[in-house]
Structure 1
Amino acid sequence: MSKIESYFPSMQVQYNIDFIYDPIGRIQSLNSQTISSMGTSNNLEFFSYNSDGQIWKISKSNFNIEYTFLNGLIVSSLSSPSMYTGLYFYNDSEQLERQEIYDENGDLDYMVEYLYDNEGNIIERYVTGTTSYFHSYDYDTNSNPYYRIFQNQEIGKIYYEITPNNALTKTRTQNTSSTNYTYDYDYNSLNNPTTSSEYQNGNLVGQTTYTYQ
């Protein structure tokens, strides 16, 4: 995938991302642009690799995140300048089971817990913190284009929470209130999504076009 272009009609915001790869085909950076009534802003997200070929650092203009590995898995992170830290825990299948994020004083800011289906998709996501809520998901059987970009990168589990397949529904439950999201896709002959539409409680809230190399 080389580019996505998303439009959010209720906010009248256009959001584009260009995916830049290094000479051996690894993702090198994400160049994003946001266009709204407030003007245009650009952001560069750059990835640094360790000797094992894993992304160990994400650099943006206003913050960095560095990750520590143990036995091939990310076990901790440090964000700067906020000095927030993360701890990461896995199940027997090396799927991310829980992440805990601590503030600069060492106090727990929030925690996220995950459950998976047999394909490795997140089907339940529990967030506990100042605001606590729960996500549940259903998926199609086609490949998620983001997953292919980060398929062999541990960062895909931690930072992006990327799943192998494309979400068809998402329900966000907070206390006794629920919000339902549905997603429609058009696919090319390779079963890659070319467009998607996001609906919130039946109302269109986002449209995305995908471009491939």
Structure 2
Amino acid sequence: MRRFPPSPSLERKVERVNARVEIVIACEGLVTEPKYILDCAKYYGSGMVVVRVLDKTGVPLTVVRAAIQERKKLLAKYRKQKELGPVDGCFRVWAIFDKDDHDVDEALALAKEHKVCVAFSNPCFELWPILHLVDYGAQDDRHILQKLLNQHMPTYNHQSSPNIDFDSIKEHFDIAYQRACLLNQSRDAEGCTSGRPSTTVGELVIKIQQNGKVAARRAAANR
């Protein structure tokens, strides 16, 4: 029996799907963080990054454990499908949580042990969007930061509308990342890594940008 090769249109479709990168996130928050990361994937990911949000939420330790379990499942899945390429190249698993009033040392250590990436903010996630808008370095608590974000982003309200106005900050990523790096470097120099104020959310956004560019190049090469 004569075998016919797949049509070009079907081949292109498969290649494009395989080129996409999946990033899985486990979040402490139900609204603010997931929506922001999904917006980042759409805008910075060149349409080639898929973000999947785990249903499990809770305190930082719970979030990290959920991320660890998901990573184990994905490792098992991709090891059976060797044609997908290097295991860690197929997906990334991130845990997103804040210091707030939590003891986060165990959560941070557990994530590192199990190779789960962490986007951590001290005192709270709101620090990251604030850095897009103003240069900030005070050691205020989360309540003050939430009010400060509301001042600079009137559509945001921690109680009634905890959504980041992504369109208002999306072009300011570079300056926000520079400011975050300076804060983190200062905390390192002080001997209190992850101290207040600090945030590594920008590292996750950088990965989305990088993976989006790589996936787009691979898709273009396969056309």
Same fold (TM over 0.5): no
Larger strand percent: 1
Q: Considering only CA atoms, is the larger Rg found in Structure 1 or Structure 2?
A: 2
**TM-score normalised by length of structure 2:** 0.25
**TM-score normalised by length of structure 1:** 0.25
- The one of the two structures with greater contact order (alpha-carbon pairs below 8 A, sep at least 6) is 2
Larger helix percent: 2
